[in-house]
Structure 1
């Protein structure tokens, strides 16, 4: 009699624990998705079929893996001498170097945002919303290329704009008087 009651209690505790795990799992899934984006239905644990048939070798793609990583690192390393040269010269660098700095900085930012979209808005979960995010990134980058063109032709380049933003208000008029 005592053993039966003990077994019933243990079975009841296990059932309650299982219910709590299911509730936590549902709430965790809801909190880990972006609330305003629609999601695709997911299989339990992300497994399709049985456990052994889930592995399919990925298609080889040159932009995934080594070449993509090398491109990111080359962009990052390329920014170091360009930023260093502009700081060392006090902001007086050539138009070509300024345009190169702006272009590499834009490419570096594009690669970074692309990685964020791939990581946090995966096509497997968000479907076509992933594609929309990539299209918006490309559109924003094209608008930024036009902005770089405007900076280089109408302003004094990216470095000139940064100098204006960081300078004191009266400093700009003093520089103009010195050049006269």
Structure 2
């Protein structure tokens, strides 16, 4: 009884048509609103309402791909969980293992960062709306990851490394 008394005003307010800028803004898909807010127009024209075809057309099912399905999600979670002990391991291990543990920490951090930024690009710069801009962002991410990996390599081989720098900063 209480639920009906609370839900009926909400239901009636949802049933009323909304007019104005708020209603127009809510009818536009979120990535388009975000892109327009930044001043970036979508490069591929979208159909009205974002609907392609008719209601009776079957949904196009993408081919199954294990690398971008549950295995990919599981691998991302394992990498994230692996970072937890790796951040502490160089400080508690002996000096002989420090370079190996430091290298694994750097590689895991690079992979974790790549997957996280890749997810951001896929979510906020979708290929169906931005086309070649999406592809360019993915290539920039790959190039940036390679340059960062090379920088970490030089830092590990010619300097004190990541954990040595963190230890110095911690003691300072």
- Normalised to the residue count of structure 1, the TM-score between the two structures is 0.73
Q: Distance in 2 between matches of 1:135 and 1:39?
A: 18
Q: Residue in 1 aligned with 2:129?
A: 125
| Counterpart mapping for 1:48-127 below 5 A | 48-89=52-93, 93-127=97-131
One of 153, 156, 180 as aligned partner of 2:157? 153
More divergent stretch after superposition (53-62 vs 95-104) = 53-62
Q: Give the number of aligned pairs.
A: 155
**RMSD, matched Cα:** 3.0
One of 27, 30, 33 as aligned partner of 1:31? 33
Q: Residue in 1 aligned with 2:6?
A: none
Q: Distance in 1 between matches of 2:77 and 2:21?
A: 47
- Structure 2 stretches of 5 or more lacking a match? 1-15
The structural deviation recorded for 1:92 is 8.4
More divergent stretch after superposition (48-57 vs 122-131) = 48-57
Q: Indicate if the aligned counterparts of 2:32 and 2:42 stay in contact, CA closer than 8 A.
A: no
Rg comparison, structure with higher value: 1
Q: Residue in 2 aligned with 1:144?
A: 148
- Normalised to the residue count of structure 2, the TM-score between the two structures is 0.76
Q: Distance in 1 between matches of 2:18 and 2:72?
A: 48
